[in-house]
Structure formats: C-alpha cells, structure tokens
Amino acid sequence: MKSKIKRKCLVFCLAILMTLGGCERKPEKVQSTGTAMGTIISQTLYVKDAEGDRYTEEVLQEIGLLEGEISRRIEDSEIAKLNSNRSSVVSDELLQVLQETTKISKDSDGALDISIGELVLLWNIDELLLEQENGKIPTKEEIENALQKVNYNNIRFEENNVILDGNIQLDLGAIGKGYACDRVLDYLKKQENITGGIVSIGGSVVTYGCKPDGNHFKIGIMHPREDGMYLGFIEVMGECFISTSGDYERFIEVDGKRYHHILDPHTGYPAESDLCSVTVVCDNGFLSDALSTACFVLGKEDGMKLVEKYGAEALFVDQNLNITMTSGMEKMFTQKMD
C-alpha cells in the first residue's frame, strides 16, 4: 500500500517537473471574423498565450486606425482633409505610399490612378448595386466631365506637403486594403506570443510566421464566375502578401453588360482588358494591391511586364477562364479540379 502511494507521488512529481521544465506552451489556433474598411476581415492566428481574443481585437483596431487615416469618406481622415484643403502635410509613411503609387501610375501609363475620385463617385457602383435595375449608368458627357478631373500628374510633392492641382480627388480604394495588410504585419511581428497567422482584408491577404504543423499557408483564389467557389489555391510560407482584383467583386449587369468597380482612367468606363481577375503575390502589401488593380486595367501582356518590373508574381484569368501565370506563381498555385 505504502509503495503504491510512493509510486503515485513519484509519477505526480515527475509530471510537475515535466510541466515546469518542459517545452513552452504550444501555439493554439485563434479565429475571428469582423468588418472594417467596408469589407470582411478574417483572421487565423497561432498564439502561445491565452490572449488570443485580445490579439484579434487589436488587429481589427489597427485596420480601423488606418481606415481613419486614408478613407476619403471619413471626414477628418488625412485623405479627406487633403481632398478638401487641396494641400496638406502628411506623415512620412503616407508620403511614401503616395509617391510610390505615383511611380506605379507612371510605370503603368496611368492604368492605376488614385486621382480617380471624381470618376469613382460618378459611377458609384455601391449605389448602383443597391438600386439594381433602377440604377443609372453615367452618360458619355458625365464621364468626359469627370475624366477632366483625373490626372495623377496633378499630385505634387514638396517635402512632406502634398498638393492637389486641378480638380482631382484622391481615392485610395485600389491600395488601401493591401496597405492595411502591411500595418497588420507590423503589428504581428511585435507580438512575442504570436508564432504565425493569416489575415485577409477583402481581396488582400497577409501571412506571417508558420503554422504549428509546419505546413504552408493555403490561400483560396475565388472563381471569377462561380459564386463562392475556388478556382485554386496559392501556398506560401512566412511573410507574404496576396491581392486579387476581379470584376466579380462589385458589379451590376445592365442589358447583359457587366459594369464593375475597376475603372479604366483612359476611357472612364469599367476596364475591358479581357481579364476577369488578377492575383499578385509579393513582399509588400501596398504593392500587391496596387499592382493587381493596375494589371487588371492593363491586361495580360502589359500586366505581365509590370509585375516583372516590380519582381512580383501574378496569375491572370481571362474571360474564357484561361489562366496565365509568371513562373514563380506556377510553383505556388494549384488549380482546383472538380
């Protein structure tokens, strides 16, 4: 009897010793879904402490903070103030984003143009979506008038002062979600007890660290013509940014014609480049988002040249659902077979 108790004690002590001296807490998976920037934010984080909900909450707050800086719809955001005051001093970080965007505008011959605000307002796709068949497509004249107010050359920089010439209005819709992914990565990297994660902000995704099982992060690429279905998956490891621009995200159909939210700054109409979606993978969130929009407008051939110039990988899906990829993308993408 005595020896039985002794043995039990020994096992118990060994168990305590193993717990105290053994390896640290295994990362646990924490998942959350929320909204910010007018879209759905999905998070999967691998966390070594019991603070999972706090981390997902703070990620949402980070995204909300950036929205408060760059959304033209939020009255006292830096961009809204710039649009109404025509000139203002901005943070070093925003200055860099605006300057780099202007560079991509030049390199894409204006396919990406964040001075497109007037045209976006005119089309007001979200309103059209609500109205459906009662929605009004802008007239040629209205489009020509709005186009007069679109020109990225009218964004000037004098040190940290950004000056808007002409009647341009900035709209950062094409880069905002990717930019938010950069902010999320900065946040995740600062958290000692987060070992990995994947956060998606609408069409932009950031991955960080690793999964506890050592497997790749798997990012589903939406099928452009089959609602809620995936075309395939991209597999990545570590820090990576993935952005998709597609004509299926926000659109209405009038007389059998699709009018979507990605506008061609040369014509004033939704871009008709024979593509229905473009996905870009690179090591910078803002850049992946900027390039996916630019490539969508440019089309496959010029888009391919643009991503090569920026050292990014891309996947183009045309209207016949043919897929074209850069060589690096071929190694990451697996098409879903039914």
**Residue 289 touching Mg ion (CB under 5 A):** yes
Burial class (CB in 10 A: 0-12, 13-18, 19+), 311: exposed
Lay out the site mask for ligand AMP across 142-161 (x = CB under 6 A, - = otherwise): --------------------
User: Which residues, at least 6 apart from 52, have a Cβ–Cβ distance to it below 8 Å?
Assistant: 28, 30, 45
**74-113 residues near ligand AMP, rule: CB under 6 A:** 112-113
Lay out the site mask for ligand AMP across 175-214 (x = CB under 6 A, - = otherwise): ----------------------------x-----------
Q: Least distance in Å: CB of 82 to ligand AMP?
A: 16
**One-letter identity of residue 225:** R
Which position among 36, 82, 90, 114 is part of the footprint of ligand AMP (CB under 6 A)? 114
**Residue 234 touching ligand AMP (CB under 6 A):** no
Inter-CA distances, 15 with 7, 23, 166, 312, Å:
12, 13, 73, 51
Which helix (H) or strand (E) element contains residue 30? strand 28-36
Residue owning tokens 């039914």: 338
Q: In the complex with ligand AMP, which residue's Cβ is closer, 101 or 326?
A: 101
Cα(176)–Cα(270) distance, rounded to whole angstroms?
20
Inter-CA distances, 257 with 86, 137, 276, 293, Å:
37, 11, 14, 21
Lay out the site mask for Mg ion across 170-209 (x = CB under 5 A, - = otherwise): ----x-----------------------------------
Tell me which residues touch ligand AMP (CB under 6 A). 112-114, 116, 120, 171, 173-174, 203, 245, 261-263, 265, 289, 292-293, 297
